[in-house]
Amino acid sequence: MSRQALPVSRRTIPVLLTALLALLLTAPAAQAAPGDNLAVDDPFSSSRTQWWRDGRFGMFIHFGVYAQYKGVYGTCRDAEWIKRNCSIPWSDYEAKAAAFNPTQFDAQAIVNAAKAAGQKYIVITSKHHDGFSMWPTAVNDWDIADRSGFSRDILGELKTAADAAGIKFGLYYSIWDWHDPDAQPGSTTYQNYLTRMYAQLKELKDRYDPALFWFDGEWEAPWNDRHGEDLERYMRGLAPNAIINNRVGTRQVVDGDYGTPEQFIPDGPPVGQPWESCMTMNGTWGYAQWDTNYKSVSTLTRNLIGIAANSGVFLLNIGPTDTGAVPQPQLDRLAAMGDWLRVNGPAVHGAGHTRWSTSRRGAWSAGPRTRCTRRCTPGPRPVSPCACPRAPGSPAPACSARRRRSPSPPSRAGTT
């Protein structure tokens, strides 16, 4: 049976349009498909960054040929930048590298110190600005195996010890390279250096499989935004589960997974990008025998508290000596912070920002003096999810807000 078209008059059209509009307005709203309008790998919520966001506290290690100078070259004083800032000739610096023999580097002892301190990850310099590789790279011969004759793989030792202790292992890598002639400002062969840099990063991934890559030295030309975008794209393909800091690019909010405020603590929670505050215990990153101006345990612990209270992460540095041993004042401070965390750890690990604070009299109030953290745990959701804090002693079925006590510096660490 054939269909015949029904005649439609001009008067009928407005009626049909009105009916269609009413149907659309009364129809149930379409449900968004899973993933609509959602960043699937947002570092604020990604499972890839969960361990880092929960850990809140890590160990930074600056160690390399520069430790040989113990912070002094003639009348000039410096540490990890001593080659450049004290104008040391390459012939002298390479001679120091030949004498580099850090036999007292004890990966197990360092990992034990980190674990006792409550640190959840370790980041060590694989290559600083001097270009010296702390692993036996096949890309060039400016490395610990070829130039020093020191046969141990200290990065491998640290990785093995960290894995066994349940501590995440990360590697620092400097984009800036003072030693490679193709990497210098004005170079017309910069791409040759970049090819070697990519090859080294692949070596590090294949050899050590770090959970985190900590880039640095991105501010020096000829490095630019495009180089940063290319490197981050390469790293995402090379190590898709690794966390990457924003110095992979030029520290824009879209670069890497998190920001890297250095030697200061932001005064509020993350905006646009998570952050990790990296700081020294004294005034230098690398070892300098003369730098004994250590922060007190109270200061270091309050720094950790303030960072956790703003949902930040604290990366605290140690600088082994020329022999590889960790200075005792640094070990003492780590031990004292660990003593505090053994009692108050839940206020840091897995905790985060809350707008609440305690006044000088101890009363709960909202304000800029952030002196408490929020920690959400599985359980029945309250009327206002994670509406922390509650006053001490009151029930909190899904959250707990903990007042943090200021630590008393143990006498063994001393204060300055």
Residue 406, pLDDT score: 37
Residue 268, pLDDT score: 87
Angle at 276 between CA 270 and CA 280, to 5 degrees: 140
Cα separation, 146 vs 354, whole angstroms: 51
pLDDT tens for 181-221 read 999 999 999 999 999 999 999 999 999 999 999 999 999 99
Q: What percent of the chain has pLDDT over 90?
A: 71
At residue 76, the 3 state secondary structure works out as strand
Cα separation, 407 vs 342, whole angstroms: 12
Mean pLDDT within 314-340: 98
Cα separation, 138 vs 129, whole angstroms: 19
Say whether pLDDT at 11 is over 80. no
Say whether pLDDT at 394 is over 70. no
Cβ neighbours of 25 (radius 10 Å): 7
Peptide bond into 185 cis (omega under 30): no
pLDDT tens for 136-152 read 999 999 999 999 989 99
**Banded model confidence at residue 345, pLDDT cuts 50, 70, 90:** very high
Cα separation, 175 vs 250, whole angstroms: 11
pLDDT tens for 240-252 read 999 999 999 999 9
pLDDT tens for 287-320 read 999 999 999 999 999 999 999 999 999 999 999 9
Fold of domain 47-347: TIM Barrel (3.20.20)
Cβ atoms of 142 and 190 closer than 8 Å: no
CA dihedral 15, 16, 17, 21 (to 10 degrees): 100
Say whether pLDDT at 366 is over 60. no
Hey, where are the domains in the chain? 47-347
- Please tell me the pTM assigned to this model: 0.80
CB crowding 157-191: b at 16 or more within 10 Å, else e: bbbbbbeeeebbbbbbbbbbbbbbebbbeeeeebe
Mean pLDDT within 277-282: 98
